[in-house]
Amino acid sequence: MTKLTTAVIITAIASSCNAFAPVPQQQSIRSVELNAMSRALPFLSEPKNLKGYVGDVGFDPFAFSEFFDIKWLREAEIKHGRASMLACLGFILQEYWTLPGMTHVDDSNLAPSVVGVSSMVQIVVWMGVLEFWTNKGNVTMENMFEDPKREPGNLGFDPMGLSSGKSQEEKDAMALKEIKNGRLAMLAIGGMIHHNWITGEALF
C-alpha cells in the first residue's frame, strides 16, 4: 500500500511539472503564423495571399485576394497607379500650358468637354489597343495570366535601362517606390478632381 501511494505521489508531481515545461519552439512559431495579424489593420488577420508581393502591408479589408486572382489584382493596382501619376501631372500642367490648337481652360475638369467626344474616344480606343497588344490578346481575368512566367505590371518597358545591372533587391526597392507613388497618386488625383468640383475653382 505504501509503495502504491508513493507511486501515485510521484506521478502527480511529474504531471504538475510538465504543465510548466516550455512549449517547443516550432509549435510556438506555427501558432504565431496561424494567428498573425495585419500590419496595416491589426484588428484583422493577415491576408495570406498577399505574401511575397512587394509593397505588402497586409491591407485587404474586403478580402479581395481571397476571391480574385492576386496577379490580376496586382496588375490592376500597378496600372491604375501609373495612370494616376500621369493624370496628376496632366491635371496640374493643364492650368499652365495648352496643346496647340486646343482651347485653354483653368479648370482641368472642364478639359474633356472642351476637346470634345472624338478626342476622348480616341484615348479610350488607343488604350484598349495598347492593352490588347501588351497582353497578346489575353485581357480577361481568366486568361491574362495563363503564362505562369507573366509578372504583374512587367511589360518589358524600360527605355532608359534603369533596371539594367540591378540586383533583385535593388529592383524590388524600385518596384516598391513605384507602387507607393502610384497609391499616393490614386488618392491625389481623386482629391484634385473633387477639389475643383466642390469649389468650382481651378486647383491653383
| pLDDT tens for each residue of 65-111 | 999 999 999 999 999 999 999 999 999 998 999 888 888 998 999 98
Side chain identity at 93, as an amino acid letter?
Answer: L
Cβ–Cβ under 8 Å, residues 37 and 43: yes
Side chain identity at 45, as an amino acid letter?
Answer: S
Q: What is the pLDDT confidence band of residue 147, given thresholds at 50, 70 and 90?
A: confident
Closest CA to 80 of 153, 31, 13: 153
**pLDDT value of position 35:** 66
**Cα-atom radius of gyration of the chain, to the nearest Å?**
28
Q: What is the pLDDT confidence band of residue 34, given thresholds at 50, 70 and 90?
A: low
CA–CA dist 9, 179 (Å, integer):
65
The CA distances from residue 23 to 13, 16, 34, 126, 187, in Å, are 19, 15, 16, 61, 46
| pLDDT tops 80 at residue 25 | no
| pLDDT tops 90 at residue 27 | no
Residues 150-203 pLDDT 10s: 899 998 889 898 888 999 999 999 999 999 999 999 999 999 999 999 999 999
Q: What is the pLDDT confidence band of residue 13, given thresholds at 50, 70 and 90?
A: very low
Percentage of residues of the chain with pLDDT beyond 70: 83
Closest CA to 200 of 105, 77, 119: 105
**pLDDT value of position 109:** 93
Residues 125-143 pLDDT 10s: 999 999 999 888 888 888 9
Residue 166: all three cell numbers together: 540591378
Cβ–Cβ under 8 Å, residues 70 and 53: yes
